[in-house]
């Protein structure tokens, strides 16, 4: 019996050994074929040190508002040169932070790819000459678009996969891992906002330089958002997701309470992401709990509703999502917002990452040939669709309706970082066996115009 088992499993085991053996050289201190991480990197580092010793320039929302109200050629060129100098400073600070990590962390395959991508961006931008004309700015904007798409495309999934592998190997304590990932994410948000704002300013100047601005205008990438409208869109797409999982079960209804007419300025893609992740979890938990108590529901049976209470305060807006999804048996509940998972959960999440198609393990300084396919793959996960401000309903539908087998267990942890970035918070209270209340707080951008919102270098 033992011999027959060995006979059937040996070829499969040998196959895995052969695959692993091909990558043994990758375990050294210098990844093969790396453009930057090599024995000469010490000397390249002298350039990095110079930039990392410079001070980043914080940007307030009031400055964004004042700058964008009246556009002219001089302002566009000034904005371009600000981005040209600011991005390599901020990237250099993150590179130094990565260099100071323990060797077994920074040498992680995925985190090394993040490092190399960052260094590639840094190396490109430090060599860009001063922007002097609108034509120079047009070329510069093309570089910015490349950073936001081609070059930067896989940094987020690589960061997440690297964090999961660190969990499996116990390479870092949970608290330190959370601080590292959160710091890199907050800095990433700031960099992308600065780049996207300049691209938007350039686009608006080219198309309509005399466009009038209201007195409460903040920036070209922030929009007036109807809380009720965006909640309803999120609910509709969450309902479609539930229908794909449980075609014979009615989806929970959405009941909106509180200040239903609330509108506030916010980044649409971030709002979609926050609402989408919270409501998807609430809808799925509610239907699962409903089927536990009603294993054979009739046509008239329907799950309890999802209630969202909208609160409008002087300095922030709040949303309380209440469901009857059976609660969460997790002690302490705060761990649901952590990137540091136990080994079993980390392995499950990592396995789902590897199910994603079109995420081949290749060097990032080479432009991938299947960018659209990779973007579509990421849209199926909890980290897809949060970076593109100009994709709206399509992004949200792909995000909310991602297949269940791509569940990464990182969505709420990401939401916590994004809520914190916007001067808010994400808190969860759960009654095991009954349901969960999730509180999302977001700072009002107009009220906090003097806060150094884009200071997270």
185 in any annotated domain: yes
172 in any annotated domain: yes
Question: pTM of the entire structure?
Answer: 0.81
Are the C-beta atoms of 106 and 112 separated by less than 8 Å?
A: yes
Same domain? 192 vs 232: no
First to last CA, the chain: 61
Q: Domain of 297: which CATH number?
A: 3.30.565.10
Q: How far is CA 24 from CA 106, 157, 446, in A?
A: 17, 23, 54
Q: Domain of 73: which CATH number?
A: 1.20.140.20
Where does a domain end: 207, 233, 256? 207
Q: How far apart are CA 402 and CA 396, in angstroms?
A: 10
281 in any annotated domain: yes
As given in the structure block, the two tokens for residue 307 are 């209630």
Same domain? 171 vs 259: no
Q: How far apart are CA 188 and CA 149, in angstroms?
A: 14
* Total count of domains within the chain: 2
Same domain? 232 vs 189: no
399 in any annotated domain: no
Domain that holds residue 181: 15-207
Q: How many residues does the chain have?
A: 457
Type and span of the H or E element at 276: helix 268-293
pLDDT tens track, the chain, 457 positions: 444 444 555 666 777 677 777 767 666 677 666 777 777 776 678 889 999 999 988 777 667 666 767 788 999 999 999 999 999 999 999 999 999 999 889 888 889 889 988 998 999 999 999 999 999 999 999 999 888 775 556 788 889 889 999 999 999 998 999 999 999 999 988 888 888 889 988 988 888 767 666 656 666 678 889 999 999 988 988 888 888 888 889 999 999 999 999 999 888 888 988 998 899 899 999 999 999 998 888 888 999 999 999 999 988 999 999 999 999 876 767 788 989 888 888 898 888 877 766 555 444 334 444 445 544 544 444 444 444 443 333 333 343 445 555 677 788 998 999 999 888 999 999 998 899 999 999 988 765 544 545 554 4
303 in any annotated domain: yes
**Which residues fall within 8 angstroms of residue 356, CB to CB, at 6 or more apart?**
157, 377, 378, 380, 381, 406
Same domain? 231 vs 172: no
* 3-state SS, residue 312: strand
């Amino acid at each position: 019996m033992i011999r027959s088992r060995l006979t059937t499993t040996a070829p499969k085991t040998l196959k895995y050994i052969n695959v692993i053996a091909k990558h043994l050289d990758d375990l050294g201190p210098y990844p093969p074929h790396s453009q930057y991480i090599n024995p000469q990197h010490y000397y390249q580092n002298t350039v990095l040190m110079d930039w990392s010793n410079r001070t980043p320039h914080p940007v307030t929302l009031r400055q964004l508002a004042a700058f964008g109200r009246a556009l002219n050629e001089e302002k566009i060129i000034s904005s371009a040169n600000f981005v040209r100098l600011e991005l390599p400073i901020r990237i250099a600070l993150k590179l130094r932070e990565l260099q100071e990590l323990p060797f077994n962390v920074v040498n992680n395959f995925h985190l090394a790819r993040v490092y190399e991508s960052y260094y590639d961006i840094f190396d490109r931008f430090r060599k860009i000459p001063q922007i002097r004309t609108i034509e120079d700015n047009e070329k510069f904007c093309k570089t910015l678009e490349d950073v936001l798409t081609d070059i930067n495309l896989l940094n987020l999934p690589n960061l997440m996969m690297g964090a999961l592998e660190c969990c499996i190997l116990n390479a870092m304590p949970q608290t330190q891992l959370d601080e590292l990932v959160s710091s890199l994410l907050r800095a990433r948000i700031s960099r992308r906002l600065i780049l996207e704002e300049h691209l938007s300013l350039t686009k608006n100047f080219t198309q309509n330089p005399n466009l009038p601005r209201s007195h409460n205008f903040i920036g070209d990438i922030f929009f007036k958002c109807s809380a009720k409208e965006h909640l309803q869109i999120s609910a509709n797409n969450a309902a479609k997701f539930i229908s794909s999982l449980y075609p014979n079960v009615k989806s929970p209804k959405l009941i909106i309470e509180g200040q239903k007419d609330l509108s506030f300025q916010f980044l649409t893609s971030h709002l979609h992401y926050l609402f989408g992740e919270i409501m998807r979890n609430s809808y799925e938990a509610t239907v699962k709990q409903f089927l536990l108590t009603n294993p054979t529901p009739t046509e008239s049976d329907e799950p309890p509703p999802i209630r969202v209470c909208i609160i409008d305060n002087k300095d922030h807006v709040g949303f309380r999502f209440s469901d009857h999804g059976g609660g969460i048996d997790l002690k302490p509940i705060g761990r649901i917002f952590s990137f540091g998972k136990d080994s079993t959960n980390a392995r499950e999440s990592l396995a789902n990452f590897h199910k994603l198609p079109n995420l081949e393990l290749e060097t990032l300084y080479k432009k991938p040939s299947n960018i659209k396919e990779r973007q579509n793959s990421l849209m199926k996960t909890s980290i897809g669709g949060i970076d593109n401000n100009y994709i709206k309903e399509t992004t949200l539908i792909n995000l909310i309706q991602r297949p269940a087998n791509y569940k990464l267990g990182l969505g709420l942890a990401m939401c916590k970082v994004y809520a914190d970035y916007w001067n808010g918070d994400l808190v969860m209270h759960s009654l095991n066996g009954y349901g969960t209340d999730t509180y999302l707080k977001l700072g009002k951008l107009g009220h906090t115009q003097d806060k150094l919102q884009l200071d997270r270098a």
